[in-house]
Structure 1
């Protein structure tokens, strides 16, 4: 993983979790140094309400959790996947079935537990479709 970090190669981080591959997640660098943006592609299999249409809420929650995990692994030089303790998601508006983005900010990184805040948006980062706060158990 250290070599992948040096080359800014995000694929080993995404390959570590099968659900990331199922969702089709990709990662790109953010605007600030160390910030990562998770990208969820538009895919009909991710629609939860075809009448609206809208992304499934579980997919939006998974995107937020994924952004938090990727940011933790990348920022902490960790090779192990942190274990989720809890995740609280605030659904702010309906997420259309289009390309969706998420970023996470580590608010506290302790020796055993990390607190992370994540936001997901579609067209404008200033208008998030969902936000989350999560706690993770870190490997010793």
Structure 2
């Protein structure tokens, strides 16, 4: 994987900086968000905090959607977020990727997954519905 220098088209918000998020591009061109394990993301000792995992998933979904909407003059605004925690996140890097399930004129549905060692064993998933509002 190659490290991207700019995670999104605009500067990262303070929460993403707190999580120390970065992006990587896979060999097949997919973008992943990566959150390293550090003191600011610890929940119970040795495990990730659920809020940090949910934040990673939201940034992955938002990042994928803004990439798809680039140049269209549309701003995505989350209207519902559902996170399912599947396994405890351990003390290692956590990866997240997102897929746009539906991209309509006014609504987008995005699904995101977070994993650690194996993409086939997710630790959490999220379904996020976005309102697509005109910029300005």
- The answer to which structure has the higher strand fraction is 2
Report how many residues are paired.
Answer: 130
TM-score normalized by the length of structure 1: 0.83
Alpha-carbon distance in structure 2 between the residues aligned to 1:81 and 1:22? 23
Q: C-alpha root-mean-square deviation of aligned residues, in Å?
A: 1.9
Segments of structure 1 that go 5 or more residues without pairing to the other structure are: 1-7
TM-score normalized by the length of structure 2: 0.86
Segments of structure 2 that go 5 or more residues without pairing to the other structure are: none
Taking structure 1 as reference, are residues 110 and 31 closer, same or farther at Cα in structure 2, changes over 3 Å only? farther
- The answer to which structure has the higher helix fraction is 1
1:82 aligns with 2:82: no
Is the contact made by 1:102 and 1:121 (CA closer than 8 Å) also made in structure 2?
Answer: yes
Superposed, 1:1-140 pairs within 5 Å as: 10-13=6-9, 15-33=11-29, 35-50=30-45, 53-78=46-71, 82-140=76-134
Alpha-carbon distance in structure 2 between the residues aligned to 1:19 and 1:133? 20
Is the contact made by 2:114 and 2:124 (CA closer than 8 Å) also made in structure 1?
Answer: yes
